[in-house]
């Protein structure tokens, strides 16, 4: 196998999984770990991969994830309305898991000072809640994705395997008739474990996400207990939600209903 062919094979394997270990790559390509290590370093220098302890994570051209700052002001009024509706369902004394994202950050702002246990993989949320005496904070570790400030990957997943929470509140990049999608394969694996930890999975979304797929499939609608969404839904998007049958809470309305 030519060097260029081998390097491309390494890149393809890492990009298909989001994360790959040194040992797995060496086994699949049938070369030594030292050879794979050099190939990973090559792609790291090219900006396609980021080296981690024992493997690498796919970065690509950086376009798969808009930066946190780029997303903060997008649909801000809708996100704040969704956050208010979601925060209103949280009871004092509960343990909740907040996924990293701009909408979940708005939820965290509203929960500040409440008597809760909060688990999160988000550095922005952790910084916000760290000074609160009333809130017990558990910060999940792992590889920190630089553009979003969230912990992802096998170490993060491992930390959650013995956790139990009342609610997991998460956001995604896109929603279709098939289900939920997000922009990064490694994030999807992390979010699946977040869902397994919870008695109730609550999805937070603004109406622009409806009908919009993304790179990686997360789950079917049957895995979601409640969708919280803003009120600016065109008729076509209402029809799409109706097909899913998902229980829905429209921000600003008190009653929940089935899609």
Q: What is the DSSP string of 31-94?
A: S-HHHHHHHHHHHHHHTSEEEETTEEEE-TTS-SS--HHHHHTTTHHHHHHHHHHHHTTPPTT-
Looking at residue 46, its pLDDT comes to 77
Q: How far apart are CA 185 and CA 153, in angstroms?
A: 10
CATH 1.10.10.10 fits 3-58, yes or no: yes
E strands, the chain, are: 19-21, 49-52, 55-58, 95-98, 116-120, 135-139, 143-145, 150-152, 165-171, 174-175, 180-182, 198-205, 216-219, 226-229, 247-250, 256-258
CA angle 65, 222, 214 (to 5 degrees): 20
Q: Quick check: 165 and 198 in contact, CB under 8 A?
A: yes
Which of the pair, 237 or 168, is modelled with greater confidence?
168
Can you give the pTM of this predicted structure? 0.74
Inter-helix orientation angle 185-196/3-17, to 10°:
30
Q: Architecture of domain 68-258 in CATH?
A: 3-Layer(aba) Sandwich (3.40)
pLDDT bracket for residue 69 (50, 70, 90): very low
Q: How far apart are CA 207 and CA 103, in angstroms?
A: 13
Q: Identical fold at 3-58 and 68-258?
A: no
Q: Which two tokens stand for residue 230?
A: 């803003």
Does residue 205 register a pLDDT over 50?
Answer: yes
Does residue 95 register a pLDDT over 80?
Answer: yes
What are the pLDDT digits (tens) for 15-55?
A: 777 778 899 999 999 999 999 999 998 888 877 888 887 88
What does the domain layout of the chain look like in residue ranges? 3-58, 68-258
Q: Mean pLDDT over residues 187-213, rounded?
A: 94
Looking at residue 55, its pLDDT comes to 86
Q: Which two tokens stand for residue 112?
A: 């500040």
Name 258's bridge partners. Answer: 247
Q: Mean pLDDT over residues 251-255, rounded?
A: 74
**SS3 category, 167:** strand
- The closest alpha carbon to 250, from 77, 84, 74, 73, belongs to 84
Which of the pair, 176 or 145, is modelled with greater confidence?
176
What are the pLDDT digits (tens) for 70-81?
A: 454 556 888 999
Q: Quick check: 26 and 35 in contact, CB under 8 A?
A: yes
Task: Say how many CA atoms lie within 13 Å of 80 toward its Cβ.
Answer: 7
Which of the pair, 58 or 122, is modelled with greater confidence?
122
Does residue 218 register a pLDDT over 80?
Answer: yes
């Amino acid at each position: 196998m030519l060097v260029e062919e081998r390097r491309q094979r390494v890149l393809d394997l890492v990009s298909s999984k989001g994360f790959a270990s040194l040992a797995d790559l060496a086994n699949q390509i049938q070369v030594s770990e030292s050879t794979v290590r050099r190939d990973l370093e090559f792609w790291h220098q090219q900006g396609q991969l980021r080296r981690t302890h024992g493997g690498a994570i796919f970065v690509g051209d950086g376009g798969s994830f808009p930066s946190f700052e780029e997303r903060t002001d997008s649909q801000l009024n809708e996100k704040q309305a969704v956050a208010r509706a979601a925060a209103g369902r949280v009871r004092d004394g509960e343990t909740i898991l907040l996924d990293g994202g701009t909408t979940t950050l708005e939820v965290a702002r509203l929960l500040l000072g409440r008597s809760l246990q909060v688990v999160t993989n988000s550095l922005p949320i952790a910084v916000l809640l760290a000074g609160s005496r009333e809130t017990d904070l558990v910060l999940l570790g792992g590889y920190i994705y630089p553009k979003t400030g969230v912990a992802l990957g096998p170490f993060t997943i491992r930390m959650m395997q013995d956790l139990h929470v009342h609610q997991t509140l998460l956001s995604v990049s896109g929603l279709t008739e098939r289900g939920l999608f997000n922009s990064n394969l490694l994030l999807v694996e992390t979010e699946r474990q977040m869902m397994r930890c919870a008695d109730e999975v609550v999805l937070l979304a603004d109406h622009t996400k409806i009908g919009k797929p993304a790179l990686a499939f997360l789950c079917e609608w049957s895995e979601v207990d409640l969708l919280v969404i803003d009120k600016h839904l065109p008729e076509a998007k209402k029809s799409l939600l109706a097909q899913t049958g998902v229980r829905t809470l429209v921000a600003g309305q008190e009653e929940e209903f089935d899609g």
